[in-house]
Structure 1
Amino acid sequence: MTTHPDVRRVDVTGEAAELLRRLTVDHGPLMLHQSGGCCDGSAPMCYPQGQFLTGASDIHLGDLDIGLDRPVPVWMGKAQFAYWEHTHLTIDVVPGRGAGFSLESPHGVRFLTRSRVFTDEEHAALAAVTDGAGNLV
């Protein structure tokens, strides 16, 4: 996968990276999928890699380097991506109980997505390294 050296769709805070490292010890390699709502609200959901099946209706936003052998891939459904494609996302963690399906739930914290709109320059750089659907190439 090729990425622009200065522009990424998704990043992670230090606190969220630490939690992901701890969860990796217990559950093995992880993945995140940005939930589109319903009973869990709109939140990044953490699963063991491969437990949540992605397909043609999902966009691979990027990989989080959390200091382990494998990065943590981050996915989002295409329909939701249509609303978020102009934003940079940062995965964070805050106190509180999140969704019961996400691995951090029993730890009294929940993942949270923070966002900001890409600048025109960032958006142009991303267009050069993504396919027509938004996936990094």
Structure 2
Amino acid sequence: MPDARLDAAVTLPGEDFSRVALTAAAVSLLRKLWDQHGPLMFHQSGGCCDGSSPMCFPAGEFVTGDSDVLLGRFEISDGGPGTSAESGAMPLDFWMSREQFNYWSHTHLTVDVVQGRGSGFSVEAPEGKRFLIRSALMDWPV
């Protein structure tokens, strides 16, 4: 049975479908990282090596601008007692460089987590895990 996933809220004007989701394993790790680092964000830059992996940063640490696209916004529940999120929900934006979005505009992205070290810049690296993208071609016109 496939992992349950959390779809992001739609953020692109004129669209009515989510472009990005999180697996249950990614949500679980994000809750832990939120407790350690506070509010978080993702940025997918493209490029080679770890640049093609989604990077997770404390919210606002990676400055976004006109060269980036906000693909989705997640509201992650705090997971119940024992977490530090006081509001009961943890907002998390998923950004992608506009150039990369031009290449991936026909795909749905799912952020998953696997064992192994990715980039030292992404907050999950010390956990011995890394986020990765699983993509699927969308079957509707974009």
What is the TM-score with the length of structure 1 in the denominator? 0.82
Corresponding residue for residue 135 of structure 2? 115
**Alpha-carbon distance in structure 1 between the residues aligned to 2:134 and 2:107:** 10
Q: For the aligned residues, what is the CA RMSD?
A: 1.6
Corresponding residue for residue 109 of structure 2? 89
Q: Whose strand proportion is higher, 1 or 2?
A: 2
Provide the identity percentage.
54
Structure 1 segments unaligned to the other structure (5+ residues): 125-137
Q: Whose helix proportion is higher, 1 or 2?
A: 1
Corresponding residue for residue 48 of structure 1? 58
Corresponding residue for residue 135 of structure 1? none
Deviation at 1:36? 1.2
Structure 2 segments unaligned to the other structure (5+ residues): 1-10, 79-88
Contact 2:117–2:128 (CA<8 Å) still a contact in 1?
yes
What is the TM-score with the length of structure 2 in the denominator? 0.79
Q: Describe how 1:21-36 pairs up with structure 2 within 5 A.
A: 21-36=31-46
Corresponding residue for residue 129 of structure 1? none
Corresponding residue for residue 102 of structure 1? 122
Higher relative contact order (CA closer than 8 Å, sequence separation 6+): 1
